Amino acid sequence: MIARPRLELYQVIERIKGLWRTCTAQVESATSVVQWQTLSRTFLKLGFTGFGGGIAVIGQIRRIVVRQNRWLSEEQFLDAVSLAQSLPGANAANAITYIGLKLAGIRGAIVSVISFIFPSFLMVVGLTIAHDHLHHLPDFQRIFQGLNAAVVGLIAATAARLGKAAMQRQWHLEVGVATAFVLIFMGASVAEVVLLAGITGIFIQSFRVRGRHRLRLQLRKQRQSGARTAAATQQARQSAAEAIAQTNNLTADHTISTSLPDNQGERRAQAEKEHGEQHPEETHTEEAQGTRHLQAWAVPLLALPFLGKLIAVWELLMVFLRVGAVTFGGGFVMIPQIETDVVDVHHWLTHQAFADGVVFGQITPGPVLITATFIGYKVAGWIGAIVATIGAFLPSFLMTLIAGASLNRFRTNHQVQAFLSGVAPAVVGMLAAAGVSLARSGLDSTLSFGVATTAFLLMLRARLNPVVIILGCGVLQFFVAHYLF
């Protein structure tokens, strides 16, 4: 009775090892195109200059990788971008991971993504230290009120742009609205929303497959019926011609037999219909049991600073591993879930401090998900910043390695694509929920609403870097609040 679970666990571990060996063999079999040192220097420089996040950084990566160095073709770079957008985590970091993987193997992927994240990591830590000393000053608060309002406008503009591309059908709109509703009013987690949206996409895709099978079956029946009618008509004509040609004395017995085609084709179509219906397996995300046990022991151990910080670091890791595994659509999508865990559940930060951290993630180069560094440093210092950053980026890094090693199979897997077709409109709803979440804590006056509206219109109409708009709105809020009120 005891040996069987151990045997099953051993088999699971062996399967994971086999999958990893297959991926590494496929990657390392290719000759390294670029030295990992060159990739490190290239993406370290990009990490210092990659302001704007998302599309802006993707454009810079394309200029460096395709135009300047010609490491990849346009088609290969589009593969990298498509894969990056199909996986959770920061799109720019995912694309850089795949590029490093393709050019220099697993070592290239590790070096590339670390070099890209490291500069923004240092900048966020420096800004966090300054925030600890300056956040109580009135002028500093005015500036950050403008920055927070600008980020709300930026998120609203991003949701509007993505909505035009993602809301192509009626069910897309329904999924997006339902996602925003359950996140804002029902307190659902991002993991639950992503899972339900993906299952919805699979269900609708399978419904379409069944519809196409029915249409093919009807067309086949119509063709078979037409063929039978044509065969009967032709046979009748031949019989009439033979009857006219016969002499009156000829008493031949003419037997007209019309053999209908067997119904093997129909049975095959029915079998395809039955076997073609695929029922998605619902995957259930389990909360880490270790965290609950540690929380049970937290009260007597909080008297010991070291153990208290160790518990906080472990909880940080669990929070950001979970968020990093389901954050489809970029860093803004993770805001409601992280705010719930950090502010409402663990009470590590206030709503205003969390909004300030999101601003730091936006005004620094690199991905918005670097906000994890701010939270980690606030909770547990340097070790907390390192652990939170690793937890936020590790899941998507591993997924990119596995999917990148078998890109063709990943792109042609119908179930994966059906899952993503349901997640895409849900991302718009998650962005809307993120905007509402930040607006609750960042928009506390008529002036803040005006600044957010200004940032929203500038993002939609003006061709300006988002960082310029955010900083400009912070300066605008400061001068208006300081000199007019």
Q: Kindly tell me the number of DSSP H helices and DSSP E strands found in the chain.
A: 19, 0
Q: Are the C-beta atoms of 419 and 210 separated by less than 8 Å?
A: no
Q: State the pLDDT confidence band at 80, using cuts at 50, 70 and 90.
A: confident
- pLDDT of 257 reads 42
pLDDT of residue 470: 82
Identify the top-confidence range among 116-130, 259-273, 316-330.
116-130
- Which residue carries 């600073």 as its tokens? 305
Integer Cα distance of 325 and 191 in angstroms:
8
Instruction: Tell me the CA distances in angstroms from 194 to 175, 199, 200, one per residue in order.
Output: 11, 9, 10
Q: How far apart are CA 436 and CA 442, in angstroms?
A: 10
Confidence (pLDDT) at 285: 43
Residue 233 pLDDT more than 90? no
Which of the residue ranges 19-23, 316-320, 399-403 would you say has the lowest mean pLDDT?
19-23
CA distance 352 to 358: 10
Tell whether the model's pLDDT for residue 262 goes beyond 60.
Answer: no
Nearest to 396 by CA among 81, 173, 91, 35: 91
Buried b (16+ CB within 10 A) or exposed e, 231-256: eeeeeeeeeeeeeeeeeeeeeeeeee
Instruction: Name every residue whose Cβ is closer than 8 Å to that of residue 270 and which is 6 or more positions away in sequence.
Output: 217
In this prediction, residue 36 carries a pLDDT of: 85
Question: Does 469 score more than 90 pLDDT?
Answer: no
pLDDT in tens, 135-175: 777 777 788 788 888 888 888 887 887 777 777 778 888 88
Residue 41: phi and psi, rounded to 5, are: -65, -40
Of 75-79, 106-110, 341-345, 386-390, least confident by mean pLDDT is 75-79
pLDDT of 250 = 46
Q: Which of 7-11, 88-92, 440-444, 469-473 has the lowest mean pLDDT?
A: 7-11
Report the alpha-carbon distance of residue 113 to residue 108 in Å, rounded: 9
pLDDT for residue 479 is more than 80? yes
- What mean pLDDT comes out for the span 209-213? 57
- Find the helix packing angle between 414-442 and 190-245, rounded to 10°: 140
401 or 326: whose pLDDT is higher?
Answer: 401
| pLDDT average, residue stretch 354-383 | 87
The pTM for the full model equals 0.66
The pLDDT of residue 19: 57
How many CB atoms sit inside 10 A of residue 414's CB?
12
pLDDT value at 398 more than 70: yes
Q: Residues 181, 187, 190, 195: what is their CA dihedral angle, to the nearest 10 degrees? A: -70
pLDDT band at 109 (very low <50, low <70, confident <90, very high): very high
